[in-house]
Amino acid sequence: MSDAFDNLRPSRRAFLRGAATAGVGAMAAGTARAETPDPLITEPQEWAQSFGDGVDATPYGMPIRFEDDVIRRNVEWLTADTISSINFTPIHALDGTITPQGAAFERHHSGAIELRKEDYRLMINGMVEKPLVFTYADLERFPRENHVYFCECAANTGMEWAGAQLNGAQFTHGMIHNMEYSGVPLRTLLEEAGYDTAGKWVYVEGADASSNGRSIPMEKALDDVLVAFKANGEALRKEHGYPVRLVVPGWEGNMWIKWIRRIEVMDAPVESREETSKYTDTLADGISRKWTWEMDAKSVVTSPSPQAPITHGKGPLVITGLAWSGRGAITRVDVSRDGGKTWETARLAKPGEKRALTRFYLDVDWDGEEMFLQSRAMDETGYVQPTKTQLREVRGLNSIYHNNCIQTWWVRPNGEAENVEVS
Amino acid sequence: MSDAFDNLRPSRRAFLRGAATAGVGAMAAGTARAETPDPLITEPQEWAQSFGDGVDATPYGMPIRFEDDVIRRNVEWLTADTISSINFTPIHALDGTITPQGAAFERHHSGAIELRKEDYRLMINGMVEKPLVFTYADLERFPRENHVYFCECAANTGMEWAGAQLNGAQFTHGMIHNMEYSGVPLRTLLEEAGYDTAGKWVYVEGADASSNGRSIPMEKALDDVLVAFKANGEALRKEHGYPVRLVVPGWEGNMWIKWIRRIEVMDAPVESREETSKYTDTLADGISRKWTWEMDAKSVVTSPSPQAPITHGKGPLVITGLAWSGRGAITRVDVSRDGGKTWETARLAKPGEKRALTRFYLDVDWDGEEMFLQSRAMDETGYVQPTKTQLREVRGLNSIYHNNCIQTWWVRPNGEAENVEVS
């Protein structure tokens, strides 16, 4: 619990208790709703007088119908079609750090394909002693690891370079998810094939029609890259690369090849389409940065936000959001309510874990006045998330990818929030 | 990586590489499948020549159809009907530690009810300065915490007291799940109501027709109990208590009241049906133990197991399973392949976390002979999971609940596994 919250406790408690009516009270939205009895308390309810669903009703469960707005959404004008496109995780409505697979954003280059385990093959070729092909059953025989990692598309927040654009954390920052993966270290498979130490790169390629392919330095391939087949305990979903995807911790999502079919050990990078004309950062002078794989530290307030307005008026308010860094663990998140003039250190729900989402909270007593809400992440390397102005000074206005600037939500006295730019 | 595995590496590598054919090889099930080219490698595949699903295909995703056997299952003869009944998590098919909500076991006493957030009320009454009623929106205004905890039904493995009964880890040990919860500490709400320090118990009660209710010592209520509204990042599913359930870390699942509607501070326990005639342990002399809330350390090999046989023949084999303790963190898991005569220390995927599932692995070179597979968990208190014989010596044969004995799978040379008893 943060010091900030501790300071607020007396007034908050006084407020909440004041809202209770005599005996049994009902309070909501900052005011006592009724001095008269609340029938939801005093009367027997329908759901307490009849049976609910049995244990055979949903062999595999889905969210309750009242939550049917907590879904992935795409932005129609963003891409020419929905096949090579992206949708967004509803981060404004989530809490904690794990992203359920069903709500985790998708980015496809030629659509999500259906590939049976029995038909799955993974080839390792190129500069190896002996090229190998693994079936799915083969992969299950190697020692496995489990890790929670975030996956962020390099284009996340990309639409915000020139100015505030999309009105919701889901759309500005929802190209991200965070899951627990089970899989085999890529290192193990490369050793199995006897990789040539003169091979400084691996080229990894998907089985879908786009053959989405990327070059990865051998140093990273031998470090923490996973050939994963489970996410959050169960099989990868179709749209997340069933049956096998690459997990490249901390690095841009485009490298996390889905339906991975081939890994070639090479002495030079391929310079594929996805690492030249795409996923590079064109600077002000027209020169493009490349090999910007590592996702810099970043954060966003998920609530309140445009899709998650304050509905309860002034008083106790939970400000919460997510922070992450491709370089390691988040060590601190600051929150500003005045557009960056003053900052308060947020409470991290848990100590930051390397290359995984960190949930932060700031428990405040809102005075009901407008706020310009911002969050600012710091990671274990000492890196501090930049303002939009700072980022533009270095990168100009031509970029799409790797926008990790500080986000601002303008929260009005009525609790509604809007995407704005203050720096 | 365990020492055991390191010792096996040379032979395993030799095996796997030997299975590759010249150039590009295809290996599976311990033998090279074909010297002739594998068309799944040499021919362009259908899924690489057409578009897959677009990003608007599944706003909320479900498992791919090839995984439609990875579901909760109930055992028809176990209960008189499916309304007051239980189903089982498919732990034999999962990996890692997180249980997706959709696959997490359900136990209902009068079925899973549908309760809107708008209709939700939580009353705190009894020995408090001022009784309070919270709406869902009220609860969202208190400081939140995030924790991963296992929830195990006290009846898990209960059918195995007299002898090996159900043939599958899902059925013997699947009354368990493990999720990341977001919620408000119960302590905070009790403080809000101004609980009387003379109140040594709280009675917690669900909103469903069964009014499932349990007494919890105040010491636990003030310690780590959560009033939770999110699991694995998103809203609780209907069957897990939407919109609000109690999380009672390390304690039997029956106390994790779903659709929680009332918390009464009392000076004595209620001695409700669920804590007298049910959820107590009748010993050999007919006397019943009560207040056995804490789930003792336990583990099970999830694969290989009857529902997850070995299909690849001898050679490299991943033995994996789950371990947990209601008393704290798992510190070590041993695995026996000979019914408990000799033990090897398994590799924990991560250091054990308090009152959460721990995944263990033992990477072995299977000789193709029969095995009597067992696992034995140890926790930070020094407690060691007992054999069935040891447990019966203390508890007799009348018990149903709190069976945490060592489980044995008899794995035959053909890879099939069966639930057997060796101690």
* pLDDT tens sequence across B332-344: 999 999 999 999 9
The predicted-structure confidence for B224-250, as pLDDT tens digits, reads as follows 999 999 999 999 999 999 999 999 999
User: Which residues in chain A are contacts of B122 at CB distance < 8 A?
Assistant: none
Contact B21, B28 (CB under 8 A): no
B contact test, residue of A9, A95, A107 with most B CBs within 10 A: A95
Residue with tokens 């391939």: A221
DSSP codes of every residue in B113-159: ----GGG-EEEEEESBSS-EEEEHHHHTTS--EEEEEEEE-TTTTGG
Residue of chain A whose alpha carbon sits nearest to that of B350:
A146
Q: What's the angle, vertex CA B244, arms to CA B238 and CA B245, rounded to 5?
A: 90
CB–CB contact B71 A59 (8 Å): yes
Check residue A28 and give its pLDDT: 37
Look over chain B and give the mean of its residue pLDDT values, rounded to a whole number: 92
Task: Tell me which residue in A25, A52, A70 faces B235 most closely, judged by beta carbons.
Answer: A70
CB–CB contact A233 B98 (8 Å): yes
CB–CB contact B318 A141 (8 Å): yes
User: Which residues in chain A are contacts of B56 at CB distance < 8 A?
Assistant: 74, 82, 87
Confirm or reject contact between B422 and chain A (CB < 8 A): no
Check residue B66 and give its pLDDT: 98
The predicted-structure confidence for A85-132, as pLDDT tens digits, reads as follows 999 999 999 999 999 999 999 999 999 999 999 999 999 999 999 999
CB–CB contact A40 B119 (8 Å): yes
Round to whole Å and give the CA distance between A325 and A152.
10
- Which tokens hold the place of A166? 């999309």
Contact B146, B286 (CB under 8 A): no
CA B389 to chain A, closest CA, distance in angstroms equals 33
Confirm or reject contact between B176 and chain A (CB < 8 A): no
Confirm or reject contact between A67 and chain B (CB < 8 A): yes
Residue of chain A whose alpha carbon sits nearest to that of B23:
A131
CA B305 to chain A, closest CA, distance in angstroms equals 15
The residues, any chain, with a CB within 8 Å of residue B19's CB and separated by 6 or more, are B25, B27, B30, B31, B32
CB–CB contact B23 A131 (8 Å): yes
CB–CB contact B121 A64 (8 Å): no
Confirm or reject contact between A265 and chain B (CB < 8 A): no
The predicted-structure confidence for B38-95, as pLDDT tens digits, reads as follows 999 999 999 999 999 999 999 999 999 999 999 999 999 999 999 999 999 999 999 9
A contact test, residue of B86, B95, B105 with most A CBs within 10 A: B95
Confidence at A36, pLDDT banded by 50, 70, 90: confident
Rounded mean pLDDT, B371-377:
98
CB–CB contact A142 B350 (8 Å): no
Confidence at B105, pLDDT banded by 50, 70, 90: very high
Domain ranges of chain B: 3-48, 76-289, 298-420
pLDDT at B310 over 80: yes
Residue A7: C-alpha distances to residues A10, B140, B399 (Å): 7, 19, 50
Rounded mean pLDDT, B249-270:
98
Round to whole Å and give the CA distance between A184 and A155.
28
How high is the ipTM of this complex? 0.92
Query: In terms of pLDDT, which residue wins out, B112 or A5?
Result: B112
Check residue B35 and give its pLDDT: 61
% helix, strand, coil for chain B, step of 5: 20, 30, 50
User: Which residues in chain B are contacts of A194 at CB distance < 8 A?
Assistant: 17
CA B322 to chain A, closest CA, distance in angstroms equals 12
The predicted-structure confidence for A331-377, as pLDDT tens digits, reads as follows 999 999 999 999 999 999 999 999 999 999 999 999 999 999 999 99
Round to whole Å and give the CA distance between A270 and A209.
18
Confirm or reject contact between A194 and chain B (CB < 8 A): yes
Question: A76-288: which CATH architecture?
Answer: Alpha-Beta Complex (3.90)
Count contacts between A and B (CB, < 8 Å): 397
Task: Tell me which residue in B16, B82, B143 faces A55 most closely, judged by beta carbons.
Answer: B82
Regarding the domain delimited by B76-289, which CATH topology (the fold level of the hierarchy) does it fall under? Sulfite Oxidase; Chain A, domain 2 (3.90.420)
Rounded to 10 deg, the angle between the B3-18 and A186-193 helix axes is 50
Distance of CA A178 to the CA centre of its chain: 6
Round to whole Å and give the CA distance between B327 and B139.
28
Which residues does residue A338 pair with via DSSP β-bridges, in sequence order? A372
Strands of B254-370 (E only): list them: 260-266, 281-282, 288-289, 298-303, 315-324, 330-336, 344-345, 347-348, 358-366
Contact B102, B237 (CB under 8 A): yes
Strands of A29-173 (E only): list them: 31-32, 85-86, 107-108, 121-126, 132-135, 145-152
pLDDT at B286 over 50: yes
pLDDT at A32 over 70: no
Confidence at A35, pLDDT banded by 50, 70, 90: low
Confirm or reject contact between B123 and chain A (CB < 8 A): yes
Residue B144: C-alpha distances to residues A26, A48, A289, B177, B189 (Å): 21, 28, 41, 22, 12
Task: Tell me which residue in B103, B140, B180 faces A318 most closely, judged by beta carbons.
Answer: B140
Contact A315, A32 (CB under 8 A): no
pLDDT at B34 over 80: no
Confidence at A41, pLDDT banded by 50, 70, 90: very high
Confirm or reject contact between A140 and chain B (CB < 8 A): yes
pLDDT at B24 over 50: no
Residue window 307-346, chain B: list those with CB within 8 Å of chain A: 311-312, 315-318, 320
CB–CB contact B146 A60 (8 Å): no
Question: B298-420: which CATH architecture?
Answer: Sandwich (2.60)
User: Which residues in chain A are contacts of B170 at CB distance < 8 A?
Assistant: none
CA A398 to chain B, closest CA, distance in angstroms equals 26
Confirm or reject contact between B31 and chain A (CB < 8 A): no
B contact test, residue of A6, A43, A105, A133 with most B CBs within 10 A: A133
Rounded mean pLDDT, B406-416:
98
The single-letter code of the amino acid at B139 is: L
CB–CB contact A100 B209 (8 Å): no
Contact A185, A145 (CB under 8 A): yes
Round to whole Å and give the CA distance between A398 and A284.
6
